[in-house]
Amino acid sequence: MRLVLASSSPRRRELLSRLGVKPDRIVSPDIDETPHRGELPRDYVVRMAEEKATAITRETDEILLAGDTTVAVGRRILGQAVDQSEQRRFLELLSGRRHHVLSSVCIIDREGTARTRLSDSIVKFKRFHPQEIDAYVASGEGEGKAGGYAIQGQAEALVLKISGSHSGIMGLPLYETRNLLIASGYPLV
């Protein structure tokens, strides 16, 4: 049985390795990741994982795994910061506030059955000084990351509290992923 990872994210590969899993094939899905008008963050992140999974052609002996992670402040979706200006706006919005990090994983098994799970974690940052935002943005660490930050790096030192899945905040909730792999018949060590 082979595993296909529908993601080019090095973080997802690294997180899968914590389960002792190495994808046999890695394919980056080409989908439109624009939220639908009025779409709630939870619905959006589940839809993204499912669309990424179904966008990849799967062989009969393959299990396909896709994931998506987004940051939400209320009903507002903070995707991957496209530039430093957007990253700065995201960090200003997150400063001193609680926000949700929603991470969804979808697995399509050998029979073509799709199973999806959602992890909802809460992160609260300290209140940022403008110089802290400037330094973090200049580090480049949050580029291309949901909400404009990477919890596994320098941003972790700015967190007051986390409730939920640390791996989910990084991009792949391992508890949910492990259970889906087992339910799909994938042999875990």
Among the listed residues 65, 43, 33, 51, the one whose alpha carbon sits nearest the alpha carbon of residue 120? 43
> What is the dihedral sign for C-alpha 77, 83, 87, 89?
negative
- CA-to-CA distance for 19 and 176, rounded, in angstroms? 12
Among the listed residues 77, 124, 126, 125, the one whose alpha carbon sits nearest the alpha carbon of residue 104? 77
Active site residue 32: no
Q: Please tell me which residue in 32, 68, 83, 134 is annotated as part of the active site.
A: 68
| The two structure tokens encoding residue 111 | 């029979």
DSSP 40-66: -HHHHHHHHHHHHHHTS---TTEEEEE
| The two structure tokens encoding residue 88 | 């700065």
Catalytic residues: 68
